[in-house]
């Protein structure tokens, strides 16, 4: 029979291995936390513990600049995909295709939810890059 502290240690070790794997893929603490269903502070503690456990002769991790560059590439690719999907949805002329009120309400709710998520992302971008607020009236960049 496994004791509670031993079970906790085993669960923690399993979670840390999953955290290590996801972090090695370049995922953020927030993304890892969401995927594992834990708090981002838990992920940060796990990452710190993993750093302290690493042997001195362990191969060096990729420099932070490389990880950030990789995440930036993925972010820009994702935004390009988002742009393509939005353009496709716009081209469908959906307001003219919805036949029933129940469909319209569902579509309205879903689009508003996605719009709210995008607005939150934009607001976070403005918090971290205040200079963007000054140029908010500039036309969007097209890639």
Question: What whole-number percentage of the chain has pLDDT above 90?
Answer: 34
Residue 58 lies in a domain: no
Asked if residues 20 and 50 have their Cβ atoms less than 8 Å apart, the reply is: yes
Instruction: Let me know: does 19 contact 44? Beta carbons within 8 Å.
Output: no
Domain count for the chain, please give it.
Answer: 3
**Shared domain check, 137 and 105:** yes
Give the domain extent around 29. 4-53
Domain assignment present for 10: yes
65-121 pLDDT tens trace: 788 888 889 999 999 999 999 999 889 888 788 778 898 899 899 999 999 999 998
What band does 136 get if pLDDT is binned at 50, 70 and 90?
Answer: low
Does some domain include residue 12? yes
pTM, two decimals, is 0.45
Residue at token pair 């081209």: 91
Q: Quote the CA–CA distance of 33 and 44 in Å, as a whole number.
A: 9
As a whole number of angstroms, the distance between CA 106 and CA 30 comes to 29
């Amino acid at each position: 029979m496994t004791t509670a502290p031993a079970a906790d240690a085993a669960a923690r070790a399993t979670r840390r291995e999953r955290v290590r794997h996801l972090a090695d893929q370049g995922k953020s603490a927030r993304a890892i936390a969401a995927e594992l269903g834990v708090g981002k502070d838990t992920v940060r503690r796990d990452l710190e513990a993993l750093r302290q456990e690493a042997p001195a002769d362990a191969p060096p991790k990729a420099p932070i600049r490389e990880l950030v560059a990789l995440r930036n590439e993925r972010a820009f690719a994702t935004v390009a995909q988002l742009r393509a999907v939005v353009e496709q949805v716009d081209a469908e002329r959906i307001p003219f295709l919805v036949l029933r009120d129940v469909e319209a309400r569902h579509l309205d709710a879903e689009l508003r939810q996605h719009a709210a998520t995008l607005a939150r992302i934009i607001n976070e971008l403005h918090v971290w890059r205040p200079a963007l607020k000054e140029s908010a009236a500039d036309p969007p960049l097209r890639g």
